[in-house]
Structure 1
């Protein structure tokens, strides 16, 4: 065994300050998530009066009791569109995640109809599209719980064209052999009517579900016909007349029970379901210690091996080429019994580190081992020395290897993700199977101070030709304006680099507490491993309603 030995001083002043700062960041994003969930509690009486469960209760009832649920993109759309980041923190207006239903690992999605009636906002749409991609990449059945007022028409230009991908993805997933189940708890109208229409199985709740292309007012205006909601799209009509619904439920709980029973009876992919838990030893160091690892300044170095020692089984890490390109750490380990190749940064990426990482990626692909990137880099190193050593061509090798890797790749942002280093360490642009972020992480082309300095140098160089035309007072006033411009720019870049800004735009699949890193990564690795062993039964066009 190659057990990592920790030298972390958990009693030191610097460690304690860093821990306090991380815990404050964790508390802040958890408080925002609580605001999203609070919408359901605030409207509980309204749901109970209608005989309904709240959206989060629906999700909880669908999932196997006591099983893990990996909720995704909990703060999608933060401070965007109608989300003000205060009372109206909306989480995209929907709930998505990977969980177990009747023993089957599934993608679960639900409209959060406690938030603006479940109407679809632009980032809520993107959140749904991301969930669909994860389901396809990991060969997961999808269960949708629908109750939505439809698209938020204030943002139709950001919804209409992209929204068509939801339906295209459903059709293709069905054709791949991935079951699509939908429980309709309320409205699913206009374009939303195609959600049940493109599902393989539809369960509709009696007297609550409404599925139609146009409601009574529009039908009256368009063709002069009088019709009720039930006549146009109620559960009884679709079960008895149109044939859209396969099952009618008496209430929300019954509809969810039918979905669970149906998935169990499909005996779907019984050969690919989770095997017996693998035996493994926990890390030798406490996960609580993760909160004090990272200095607040990304330029301050810290030993990424201290993180690895608290993530991997038995703190056992066999480092690859440990004495060469040591700012980039590569090696083999396991997380809850799942073998994994790890690539981590302990500083800027040097040419030697690029070559080492590219070779290691190819070796992982050769052995069919998934790769975990622990991203903590200020980017690829710059300067004459590294340029002459081939920084560009070697960095390109690393990026080519990441882009073309044939195994699942997972990314955890634990510090800086700056410049092309974000690309080389499998940032969002390179489509990792899953990507999560610690609340201290930062993503930007470079640090805010560096951007400010670059722009100040460029601005002063532009003005240099006219220096001789100015007196000392005018030159001083101009320089003061340039300094103020730099200060404003630095503040803006800092706000655009933080973890909340990134997660709002789905640059990750969610911010996580550092102490949860191991269990989140284990869930993701298990999901990927199942997908690799799963054989689907595709057809040509998906299952059509006849």
Structure 2
């Protein structure tokens, strides 16, 4: 059990981390190398379509997507960018031609999406769609006003087969947000064609920039082809036409800065109020966030104590541990983070045994009774296998834990610090279990199992099949297969690969974990505390 010092507000974790230890320094160097790679990939997203297209955009007197966001949100406020690595490893630019995130406008937390017109005119590719749908889901589940900064050429036509049919959900989501009483606001800065036109068409409030915004289902060339009619951009879909004739524009802005000013004014006029719990007094942890960069070993088979992480992210480094002597491979307990009460489940030794699964199940039920949000800190190789454990009921106990996670209605947050393999990913609230937010550290890896184990399983199956056929097993081919499979699984389990497919909401610097979680907890409480719900059948 980790040393703790009892204080009036709880038990303070006494850190055993030795920052002068060569092992710590080695872990820190490995993390810094990964963070340098992360910065480089983020730089690609910020670069948009590249210098040529950025310069052309600026020559037209236009602001870049992130500049628009910066002028929209309150001065010196935080902007939590989401999915910045979307499309990583695909044929499309990193970032997926759209910026999404949570920002504060006139004191109100809002989900903001901004088309990046320097990337193929802001056209939506399959990853743009996934990223946009995720942003809308966050707005709806957390009751956050949704602000779209629009300048889009519609669908990326060469990939229309992957966009057209599922893309209708973008417009469905806008109407569902409005129906749920969550305001939707569109600020239109340039051409918004085809699908791009329906975004303002289905928003509650629409602002268009004079002489710049062009909103139409079909531009002049398409109208000519479809009907033979001759038309021009302004009469067909110009901002003044929509403000004076069609009525699509509620506000006509003189320029981009004016549009952003009007957007801020609209949010202010909402008189938005949070429905959830407010934070208590905030206390900083007793240990430096910088030290989080040296905790996770580069070799994820080497365990680490998650209490060292908890001590550096929770208020006052105070943690009331639950069942500390039972199921020690899973640490559970209560804390506050930026003033918000939370329950924490953190893997200590990777493997989940029956005791850990039962402990987690009880803890999740307790959090449900007190309506306390849960934070899952993942570093798991999955549930234990073997005859002894199968006979001891690992399947039904693991199922109990997954049942509890699946049907718990309190908000869940997940951070993947290290390994996230097998059904451990499920029990510790991976993406399939709908955590409100999920982030990964650069040290994270996730797959059905570790690369060596997966390759080994395939080797055993192949060897047994050859023996059953009475054939001599090809050892050379086996070695080549194992090397190939290990390399493939290693690549596919890395955080950039997974984040590129939106299996998380971003890869973050470990030292930013407390800040990111604090922003998420604040955003979550824009919505009312969810009602309690029942669980499925727990097998005895």
Give runs of ≥4 in structure 1 deviating > 6 Å: none
Is residue 35 of structure 1 aligned with residue 44 of structure 2?
Answer: yes
2:109 counterpart SS class: strand
Once the two structures are superposed, what CA deviation does each residue of 1:89-131 show, in whole Å capped at 9, x if it has no partner? x311100001101111100110011112111111111000000
Structure 2 match to 1:456: 459
TM-score, normalization by structure 1: 0.93
C-alpha contact 2:409 2:530 (8 A) present in aligned 1: no
1:436 counterpart SS class: strand
Matches within 5 A, 1:344-363: 344-346=346-348, 347-363=350-366
CA separation of 1:428 and 1:135: change in aligned 2, threshold 3 A: same
Structure 1 match to 2:314: 312
Q: Equivalents in 1 of 2:434, 2:276: separation in Å?
A: 25
2:352 counterpart SS class: coil
TM-score, normalization by structure 2: 0.94
C-alpha contact 2:96 2:127 (8 A) present in aligned 1: yes
Q: Paired residues, what number?
A: 520
Q: Equivalents in 1 of 2:199, 2:47: separation in Å?
A: 27
Matches within 5 A, 1:334-349: 334-346=336-348, 347-349=350-352
Q: Equivalents in 1 of 2:358, 2:202: separation in Å?
A: 47
Is residue 257 of structure 1 aligned with residue 261 of structure 2?
Answer: yes
Matches within 5 A, 1:61-460: 61-83=71-93, 90-269=94-273, 272=275, 278-346=280-348, 347-460=350-463
Q: Equivalents in 2 of 1:533, 1:404: separation in Å?
A: 15
Q: Equivalents in 2 of 1:454, 1:369: separation in Å?
A: 41
Normalized per residue, the structure richer in helix is: 1
C-alpha contact 1:104 1:273 (8 A) present in aligned 2: no
Q: Equivalents in 2 of 1:222, 1:9: separation in Å?
A: 72
C-alpha contact 2:379 2:420 (8 A) present in aligned 1: yes
CA separation of 1:374 and 1:534: change in aligned 2, threshold 3 A: closer
Gaps of 5+ in 2: 1-9, 532-540
Q: Equivalents in 1 of 2:413, 2:33: separation in Å?
A: 26
Q: How big is the alpha-carbon RMSD for the aligned residues of Structure 1 and Structure 2?
A: 1.6
Is residue 490 of structure 1 aligned with residue 486 of structure 2?
Answer: yes
C-alpha contact 1:53 1:253 (8 A) present in aligned 2: no
Q: Equivalents in 1 of 2:118, 2:240: separation in Å?
A: 25
Q: Equivalents in 1 of 2:267, 2:277: separation in Å?
A: 15
Gaps of 5+ in 1: 84-89, 536-546
Once the two structures are superposed, what CA deviation does each residue of 1:413-436 show, in whole Å capped at 9, x if it has no partner? 000010000000000000000000
1:532 counterpart SS class: coil
C-alpha contact 1:436 1:508 (8 A) present in aligned 2: yes
Q: Equivalents in 2 of 1:280, 1:218: separation in Å?
A: 58
C-alpha contact 1:40 1:56 (8 A) present in aligned 2: no
Structure 2 match to 1:87: none
C-alpha contact 2:84 2:95 (8 A) present in aligned 1: yes
CA separation of 1:204 and 1:274: change in aligned 2, threshold 3 A: farther
Is residue 49 of structure 1 aligned with residue 81 of structure 2?
Answer: no
Structure 2 match to 1:18: 27
Structure 1 match to 2:515: 519
